[in-house]
Structure 1
Amino acid sequence: MNREKRGLGRGLSALMADVSVPEQGNPPRAAERRIPIEQISPNPDQPRRRFQEADLTDLANSIREKGVIQPLIVRPSPGRDNEFQIVAGERRWRAAQMAQLHDLPVLVRDLDDTEVLEIAIIENIQRADLNPVEEAAGYRQLMDRFGHTQERLAEALGKSRSHIANLLRLLNLPPEVQSLMIDGRLSAGHARALIPTDDPLKLARIVVEKGLSVRDTEKLAKSGPAPAQAKGGRSNDSDKDADTRALEQDLSANLGMKVAVNHREGQENGTITIAYKSLDQLDELCRLLSLTPTAGTI
């Protein structure tokens, strides 16, 4: 029987409670059973591929002292009797092996491959050591593979929509600039200032080499090389201050279309340009602009 198209996961509230790390002061979720560690195997489709050896060693030392506090989420291994596949908690499983534990606390869930992938991505997004590019890639996977919107992700994951939108914009930067963020040499704040520039990689290298602050990076982005000013008094992107560029980005994220704000210097007027890529986007824009006003408004 074909599954109906789901929302953000089946029983997301329960799954999120399983995956989430308990807040300080709250007891960890109780395990339903303990399973021998040799009967547990990792998910071959786990999106997280890198595990820092030093972090695993620290976790293993903690496990030797306190045990595994938060149970793993597992499912019955497809086609294998009395074996289980990790849905969430592979890092704890690896560290437990280093600590030479014989069994592990688990929650057993009956999940299909799609739900397992969805939970794995959500678990990765919640990691404290995630860099901005990895977090943004997780959001993009959830949107592209499962059809989720920024608003639904924000609500389900307890994030602001602007936080998700700002991170997703980082994926528009060249891979070399993203690598600087992954390595920790460039912050998300620095990178956001480079998004509207013509050569973000060149400027990123200058920022790293000189150790510029975010504010200095914004000034550098504004004063960098730019094409000639367009006719009709419109400002180039490089002429716009950080507030105007941020407003453009927020409007673009809200509408799902590229928005340009062109404010005439020294005046209180200007223009807003909205670019649509399809007739469906045009229909949506017309719908938004023609919404019935509430009583008492003009």
Structure 2
Amino acid sequence: MAKKKELSRGIRALLSNIEDKTSLPQTKEIVKELSSSIAEISLEDIEINPFQPRTEFDPEELVNLAKSIKTYGLIQPITVRSLGGNKFQLISGERRLRASKMAGLNAVPAYIRIADDQGMLEMALVENIQRSELNAVEVAISYQRLIDECKLTHEELSGRVGKNRSTITNYIRLLKLPPVIQAGVKKDQISMGHARALAGVDNVSLQLTYFHRTVENKLSVRALEQLIRGGGSSNQVSSTSSNTHSGNSLPSEVVAIRDQLRDQFGSKVEIKRDTKGKGQFVIKFNNDMDFNRILEILQED
């Protein structure tokens, strides 16, 4: 798990060493340490990047994010570059930074980078991902940083970390979940499988309803998926086991294939099959971008 600390002696010493022009091996170690450390930085010490391509932000989205940050804190840290003298320039996360100001925060969690660290940062983040103690949200944040800060495509990222593109997509989708659900993943209230199922629900209110039901009733991933398919019916939770053995249920081996396809495509996949073995696959998508993403996966395979 990323270490969260004040901008104290440890991080100050690392930044001071960089300013003193350390050797290349030492610089690599410093970049590695910074890549997995989260510091609390005063908003007064962060300046906006003048070359930020995005200049307009949806006011309603900012207000909603500010409310969320006020309640749950900033789940995904921003990234800044050290300018020396305890001053920093924003690299990514301006929307989160603005919303944090609106929420009345004095400081925000941030990853700190140094000048000319692109290649070293990439290696450090890839190494961090391999660590078993990271939770799914922390892995997703690392993937997103590799895409945003190291300018890797999904295909390049897939090659760097040795994971299928569909697996990477599934992780990144977690960052679109409401902060309370992301926090639930970090606190081990729900698993990656639960989060993936919730990410397939378009309505935020429904996502939250299903999340709270899952935590309160200690639902399995399979039970949550059945709850979602049933539209949240109160009978759905209690009838999970009986439905599994009903005459219309799929054989266990077909269910396993369906779940594997859901993981592969990062979308809802339904298999309809009669007693004679005749049926159809249904792969659901939310929009044209999602449709094209699924097509790319099909063409790869």
Normalised TM-score (structure 2): 0.46
The structure with more helix, counted as a fraction of residues: 2
Between the two structures, name the one with larger relative contact order (CA 8 Å, sep ≥ 6). 2
Normalised TM-score (structure 1): 0.46
- Name the larger-Rg structure: 1
